[in-house]
């Protein structure tokens, strides 16, 4: 049995004290010690992005970070993105409305990566979104609905009018998905506050 | 109202907020962690296994080998019971476990697994079609019976009709095509758990076929089916890779032996070793008239399976049964062999062999078009089976307007319009036989407040089965989808469903749900008659009932019918695909899944890299119950098809070990590999056997990607490719081998 050490972290705004093994990843600490199973494990080598969380305002693969390295840090997981009472953020709503979600296993990491991207670049181009999400693998979909969701969350206009990028023709004629934002929907920055 | 709507995904909220519980997120109190003990090669004779040091690690509860399991070793599999729970005497593929450890912590299990001492002799392994066929090849499976028992051919089939020898063709195209092993790479790796429970066992697995697993476990453990409960949380992607039992039997034996719940979580690398797509080598000789009309198909196909048959053996037969594609072929001779090898078992993988078959069929069409100077779209239109025309002599004829789909793809890609330099277009189409036999049952409970619970055994692995079944029930009962709860993923709660595969669920389970709703409405009529007098004229519609001319809501009828009693109305529905012992597939296809795909690519002549400029996928779905869900799946299939077309293949070393094991070395498409434009278009003629004329959907987008891309490369550069994947290196090498004069001519 490996040694365990105490760490103090702020997770989704709440201070948490937890004992972790010195060899334990941040991902395992979140999933098994803090019961936050929204962050997923797939490749465990930093290639798939399913475990993406924010440490401070940086997105990291939590499978590549030791829990002890996160001592004293502020961590945001997918569970922390929704607003009060589970009100979805605009980004989360956009994922649903764009049809970006299928099996959903990659989606927590994808949403967190997109959150970090928008925090750094509030008005990304389609190419910048693709670049920003290149570290998150999805096997169900064609990615372009994910890109559209992020663009829409950045620029709240109907997708059909979103105009200038290479992903703007992607919806078949039958699926001009409207993206109405419910009243009071939290913006990404509100939700992470 | 709700059928035909692009309703939001049921369960979507949970998925974007991290609250969706996948199997690996379930924590069982007191669960032991399981680790597998494997060898560093594919095939080895096991001389001895010493577990003493492993068993002495603190926290270890069990270290089991073949000797600790019943004798003879329990074996399982969906077609043949050929796969042992643990290797006996010999390992047959890299990753096959020799022993397993169950311990209190992952660390203890890991440490103990490393301390299991296995003495073994590595043996020569069969890894390729050529090695499997060699006269001195070692036998992958001994103790088989029948005339093929002394070969590595597990099964062979002869399909065909007419007289190929006597057929006279003006143009004969002959070529060999290869399609390598690729892996499913669902983002959710497999997790298996089991716990002894009330004289039986409960198994947790994100499996596509919970009822097949239930029956398999019951049979292996000698338990009644009723004592085995399979809890199957929505899989995090499956694609065929989660159809059949893998390590669930092992984990169940461990749980019974230790008296503790046991949990085995595979790494992504281990999932690569557990399952993969069957590799095909297709040698095809195709005859045409000078006008490009098909005269004959003469085909030799080898499907390379792994060490155990799994469902791969049916992949090979079912896909090659349609070896002539969606075309009218007067004479056909198809010889098919499914070969065993010392590699991970080949199983179902989206398309079920169709991408492998169409790679050859469609490439032959393109080659003939080039030789005969006929447009590649035109040669297909000349040969496509029209509605009602046979694609297999004596079997189900074409059930869709396939040329409509093909023309739609051509139009969307701009077929025939001028191309920029180094660009080319390709087009292809294919059909897949859908589900043949099997049954699906559904229960619909209409509650006192008019809301409904649908109990259906389908697995929602991302395709959106919950959403579509809710839409069907909502439509039939005249309520909103929000008022419908779909219960699935637990054999203890939902009635039998054969399986979630072959794009069958909308047709089979959708029909069962619609029928159960109609059963509910019949009973509501009886309830109304009882409540309002036997002579009352009762007519039940969707959501309302007319009783003696008065329009009542379902709730009015329920309240009147159950006055002073309370209760609910329980409807049952089912759909069966009947077996036909004379049919080569055991039953006729319930429908054909048709897809047409067209692409425009740009080739970088310096590097061989491809840019997919535009990609169009057209799916003939009969009726889209939820158009957005159909398109999402079709787009996903298209990108998955680009994966095996451009980059994916499992590479083995001489010891039979997968060299590109894991996400670093085995690449699947990312946001940076996708087409600049991707369009999914639907053909909806309401001509399917499912509810409202629906057919199945969601696999077709893969079928014809490879031949369409290859054909586009040929148009752009003149290079003709026969082996997948079309990596930059492979294309670059093909460009180097072109005669100098060809370059520049084709742009």
Specify whether B699 is catalytic. Answer: yes
Token pair of A55 as six digits = 């440490």
Token pair of B223 as six digits = 């338990």
pTM of the model: 0.95
Token pair of B419 as six digits = 């191309």
Q: How far is the alpha carbon of B633 from chain A, nearest alpha carbon, in Å?
A: 6
Token pair of B710 as six digits = 């290859």
pLDDT score recorded for residue B34: 98
* pLDDT band at residue B741 using 50, 70 and 90 as cut-offs: low
Token pair of A159 as six digits = 């997708």
Q: Given CB atoms, is A166 within the 8 Å cutoff of chain B?
A: yes
How many inter-chain contacts (A to B, CB under 8 Å) are there?
205
- Do B271 and B189 touch, CB atoms closer than 8 A? yes
Q: How far is the alpha carbon of A137 from chain B, nearest alpha carbon, in Å?
A: 6
Mean pLDDT of chain A: 85
Which of these, B555, B558, B574, lies nearest to B517 by C-alpha position?
B574
Mean pLDDT of chain B: 97
pLDDT score recorded for residue B3: 95
Distance CA B10, CA B353 (A): 31
pLDDT score recorded for residue B536: 81
User: Parallel, antiparallel, or unpaired for β A74-76 and A4-11?
Assistant: parallel
Contact list in B for residue A88 (CB cut-off 8 A) is 13, 16-17
- Do A78 and B212 touch, CB atoms closer than 8 A? no
**17-76 of A, contacting B, C-beta below 8 A:** 21, 31-32, 36-45, 47-48, 50
Q: Given CB atoms, is A160 within the 8 Å cutoff of chain B?
A: no
pLDDT score recorded for residue A2: 60
Distance CA A52, CA A78 (A): 9
For testing the chain A interface, which of B18, B183, B679 should be mutated: the one with the most A CBs within 10 Å? B18
Q: Which CATH architecture has domain A84-188?
A: Orthogonal Bundle (1.10)
Same CATH topology for A4-80 and A84-188? no
The values of phi and psi at residue A115, to 5°, are: -60, -45
Token pair of B667 as six digits = 């690449």
The label of the residue with tokens 């198809």 reads: B334
pLDDT digits (tens, 9 = 90+) for A41-74: 999 999 999 999 999 999 999 999 999 999 999 9
For testing the chain B interface, which of A62, A86, A104 should be mutated: the one with the most B CBs within 10 Å? A104
Token pair of B351 as six digits = 């398309």
Distance CA B497, CA B41 (A): 39
* pLDDT band at residue B534 using 50, 70 and 90 as cut-offs: confident
pLDDT score recorded for residue A188: 38
Distance CA B576, CA B591 (A): 14
- Do B217 and B246 touch, CB atoms closer than 8 A? no
- Which residue of A lies nearest to B640 if distances are taken between CA atoms? A139
pLDDT tops 60 at residue A169:
no
Are B16 and A88 a contacting pair at CB < 8 A? yes
Q: How many other CB atoms are there within 10 angstroms of residue B47's CB atom?
A: 10
Distance CA A141, CA B640 (A): 8
Are A99 and B631 a contacting pair at CB < 8 A? yes
Domain ranges for chain A: 4-80, 84-188
Our CA dihedral for B537, B539, B540, B541, rounded to 10 degrees, sits at -150
- Which residue of A lies nearest to B57 if distances are taken between CA atoms? A1
pLDDT digits (tens, 9 = 90+) for B651-706: 999 999 999 999 999 999 999 999 999 999 999 999 999 999 999 999 999 999 99
What is the pLDDT averaged over residues B167-178? Answer: 98
Q: How far is the alpha carbon of A18 from chain B, nearest alpha carbon, in Å?
A: 18
> What's the Rg (C-alpha) of chain A?
17
* pLDDT band at residue B740 using 50, 70 and 90 as cut-offs: confident
Least confident of B177-186, B214-223, B527-536, B545-554: B527-536
Q: Given CB atoms, is A133 within the 8 Å cutoff of chain B?
A: yes
- Do A130 and A170 touch, CB atoms closer than 8 A? no
pLDDT score recorded for residue A157: 53
Of the candidates B111, B188, B699, B715, the residue annotated as catalytic is B699
Are B636 and A106 a contacting pair at CB < 8 A? no
* B18, B462, B670 ranked by CB distance to A103: nearest: B462
- Do B336 and B357 touch, CB atoms closer than 8 A? no
Token pair of B350 as six digits = 């989206």
What is the pLDDT averaged over residues A126-145? Answer: 97
Q: How far is the alpha carbon of B623 from chain A, nearest alpha carbon, in Å?
A: 12
Q: How far is the alpha carbon of A72 from chain B, nearest alpha carbon, in Å?
A: 24
- Do B688 and B507 touch, CB atoms closer than 8 A? yes
- Do B301 and B280 touch, CB atoms closer than 8 A? yes
Q: Given CB atoms, is A171 within the 8 Å cutoff of chain B?
A: yes
Strand segments (E) across B305-422: 331-339
Residues in chain A: 193
Contact list in B for residue A135 (CB cut-off 8 A) is 670
Distance CA B314, CA B292 (A): 32
CA B714 to chain centre: 30
* A92, A95, A142 ranked by CB distance to B635: nearest: A142
Walk me through the domains of chain B, giving residue ranges and CATH numbers: 279-435+583-742 (3.30.365.10), 438-577 (3.30.365.10)
pLDDT tops 70 at residue A183:
no
Which of these, B479, B462, B669, lies nearest to A99 by C-alpha position?
B462
Distance CA B113, CA A75 (A): 34
- Which residue of A lies nearest to B664 if distances are taken between CA atoms? A47
User: Parallel, antiparallel, or unpaired for β B294-304 and B331-339?
Assistant: parallel
Q: What is the full DSSP assignment across A110-166? A: HHHHHHHHHHH-SS--HHHHHHHTTT---SSS-SHHHHHHHHHHHS-S-GGG--SST
Are B678 and A142 a contacting pair at CB < 8 A? yes
Q: What residues does A55 pair with on adjacent strands?
A: A58, A75
Q: What residues does B160 pair with on adjacent strands?
A: B333
* B14, B672, B679 ranked by CB distance to A134: nearest: B672
Distance CA B736, CA A181 (A): 54
CA angle B366, B369, B370 (to 5 degrees): 90
The label of the residue with tokens 């299928």 reads: A102
For testing the chain B interface, which of A41, A103, A136, A137 should be mutated: the one with the most B CBs within 10 Å? A103
The label of the residue with tokens 């519609």 reads: B541
Q: What ipTM did this prediction achieve?
A: 0.96
**91-120 of A, contacting B, C-beta below 8 A:** 92, 95-97, 99, 101-108, 111
Distance CA B444, CA B473 (A): 8
Are B13 and A96 a contacting pair at CB < 8 A? yes
Are A45 and B461 a contacting pair at CB < 8 A? no
pLDDT digits (tens, 9 = 90+) for B291-343: 999 999 999 999 999 999 999 999 999 999 999 999 999 999 999 999 999 99
pLDDT tops 60 at residue B581:
yes
Q: How many other CB atoms are there within 10 angstroms of residue B673's CB atom?
A: 19
Are A144 and B239 a contacting pair at CB < 8 A? no
Tell whether the torsion through CA atoms of B465, B467, B472 and B474 is positive or negative. positive
pLDDT score recorded for residue B747: 38
Contact list in B for residue A170 (CB cut-off 8 A) is 635, 677-679
pLDDT digits (tens, 9 = 90+) for B89-143: 999 999 999 999 999 999 999 999 999 999 999 999 999 999 999 999 999 999 8
Is domain A4-80 annotated with CATH 3.10.20.30? yes
Are A105 and B237 a contacting pair at CB < 8 A? yes
Token pair of B446 as six digits = 């209409």
pLDDT score recorded for residue B314: 98
pLDDT digits (tens, 9 = 90+) for A72-94: 999 999 999 998 888 999 999 99
Half-sphere exposure (CA, 13 Å, Cβ side) for B583?
Answer: 18
Are B8 and A131 a contacting pair at CB < 8 A? no
């Amino acid at each position: 049995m490996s040694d365990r050490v105490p760490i103090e972290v702020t997770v989704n705004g709440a201070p948490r004290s937890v004992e972790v093994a010195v060899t334990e990843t941040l991902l395992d600490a979140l999933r098994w010690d803090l019961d936050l199973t929204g962050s997923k494990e797939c490749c465990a080598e930093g290639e798939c992005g399913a475990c993406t969380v924010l440490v401070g305002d940086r997105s990291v693969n939590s499978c590549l970070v030791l829990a002890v390295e996160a001592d004293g840090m502020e961590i945001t997981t997918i569970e922390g993105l929704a607003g009060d009472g589970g009100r979805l953020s605009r980004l989360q709503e956009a994922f649903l409305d764009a049809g970006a979600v299928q099996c959903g296993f990659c989606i927590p990491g994808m949403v967190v990566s997109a959150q970090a991207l928008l925090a750094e670049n509030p008005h990304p181009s389609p190419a910048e979104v693709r670049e920003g999400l290149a570290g998150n693998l999805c096997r169900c979909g064609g990615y372009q609905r994910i890109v559209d969701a992020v663009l829409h969350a950045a620029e709240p206009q109907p997708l059909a009018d979103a105009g200038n990028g290479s992903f703007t023709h992607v919806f078949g004629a039958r699926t001009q998905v409207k993206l109405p934002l419910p009243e009071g929907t939290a913006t990404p920055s509100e939700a992470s506050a | 109202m709700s059928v035909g709507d692009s309703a939001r995904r049921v369960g979507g909220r949970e998925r974007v907020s991290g609250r969706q519980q996948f199997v690996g997120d379930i924590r069982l109190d007191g669960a032991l962690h399981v680790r597998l003990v494997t060898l560093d090669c594919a095939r080895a004779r096991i001389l001895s296994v010493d577990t003493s040091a492993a068993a002495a690690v603190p926290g270890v509860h069990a270290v089991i080998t073949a000797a600790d399991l019943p004798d003879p070793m329990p074996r399982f599999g969906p077609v043949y019971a050929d796969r042992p729970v643990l290797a006996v005497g010999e390992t047959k593929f890299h990753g096959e476990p020799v022993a397993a450890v169950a311990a209190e912590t992952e660390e203890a299990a890991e440490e103990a697994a490393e301390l299991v001492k296995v003495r073994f002799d590595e043996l020569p392994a069969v890894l390729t079609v050529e090695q499997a066929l060699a006269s001195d090849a070692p036998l992958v499976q001994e103790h088989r019976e029948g005339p093929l028992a002394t070969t590595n051919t597990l099964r062979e089939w002869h399909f065909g009709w007419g007289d190929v020898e006597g057929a006279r063709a003006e143009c004969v195209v002959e070529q060999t095509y290869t399609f390598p092993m690729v892996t499913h790479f669902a983002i959710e790796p497999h997790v298996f758990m089991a716990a002894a429970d009330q004289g039986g066992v409960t198994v947790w697995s994100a499996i596509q076929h919970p009822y097949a697993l239930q029956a398999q476990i019951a049979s292996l453990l000698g338990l009644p089916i009723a004592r085995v409960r399979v809890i199957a949380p929505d899989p995090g992607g499956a694609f065929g890779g989660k159809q059949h039992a893998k390590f669930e039997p092992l984990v169940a034996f461990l749980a019974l032996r230790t008296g503790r719940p046991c949990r085995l979580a595979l790494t992504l690398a281990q999932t690569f070793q557990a399952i993969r797509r069957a590799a095909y080598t297709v040698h095809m000789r195709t005859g045409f008239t000078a006008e490009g009309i098909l005269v004959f198909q003469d085909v030799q196909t080898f499907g390379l399976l792994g060490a155990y048959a799994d469902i791969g053996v049916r992949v090979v037969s079912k896909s090659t049964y349609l070896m002539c594609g969606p075309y009218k072929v007067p004479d056909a001779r198809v010889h098919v062999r499914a070969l065993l090898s010392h590699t991970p078992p080949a199983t179902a993988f989206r398309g079920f062999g169709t991408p492998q078959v169409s790679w050859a069929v469609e490439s032959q069409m393109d080659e003939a078009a080039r030789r005969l100077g006929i447009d590649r779209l035109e040669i297909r239109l000349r040969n496509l089976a029209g509605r009602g025309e046979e694609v297999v002599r004596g079997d189900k004829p074409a059930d869709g307007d396939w040329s409509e789909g093909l023309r739609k793809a051509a139009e969307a890609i701009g077929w025939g319009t001028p191309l920029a330099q180094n660009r080319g277009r390709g087009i292809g189409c294919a059909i897949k036989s859908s589900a043949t036999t099997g049954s699906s049952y559904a229960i619909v409970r209409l509650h006192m407040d008019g809301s409904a619970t649908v109990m259906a055994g389908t697995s929602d692995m991302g395709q959106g089965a919950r959403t579509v079944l809710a839409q069907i029930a909502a439509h039939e009962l005249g309520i909103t989808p929000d008022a419908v709860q779909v219960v699935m993923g637990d054999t203890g709660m939902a009635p039998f469903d054969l399986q979630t595969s072959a794009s069958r669920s909308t047709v089979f389970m959708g029909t069962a749900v619609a029928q159960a709703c109609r059963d509910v409405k019949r009973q509501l009529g009886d309830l109304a008659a009882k409540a309002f007098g036997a002579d009352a004229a009762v007519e039940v519609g969707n959501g309302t009932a007319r009783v003696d001319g008065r329009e009542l809501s379902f709730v009015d009828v329920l309240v009147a019918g159950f006055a002073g009693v309370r209760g609910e109305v329980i409807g049952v529905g089912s759909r069966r695909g009947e077996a036909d012992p004379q049919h080569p597939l055991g039953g006729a296809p319930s429908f054909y899944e048709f897809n047409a795909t067209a692409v425009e690519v740009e080739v970088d002549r310096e590097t061989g890299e491809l840019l997919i400029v535009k990609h169009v996928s057209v799916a003939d779905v009969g009726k889209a119950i939820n158009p957005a869900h159909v398109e999402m799946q079709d787009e996903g299939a298209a990108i998955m098809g680009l994966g095996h077309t451009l980059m994916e293949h499992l590479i083995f070393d001489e010891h039979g070990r997968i060299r590109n094991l894991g996400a670093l070395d085995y690449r699947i498409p990312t946001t940076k590999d996708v087409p600049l434009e991707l369009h999914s278009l639907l053909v909806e003629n309401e001509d399917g056997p499912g509810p409202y004329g629906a057919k199945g959907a969601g696999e077709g987008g893969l079928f014809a990607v490879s031949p369409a891309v290859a054909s586009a490369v040929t148009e752009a550069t003149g290079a003709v490719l026969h082996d997948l994947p079309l990596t930059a290196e492979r294309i670059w090498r093909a460009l180097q081998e072109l005669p100098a004069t060809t370059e520049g001519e084709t742009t």
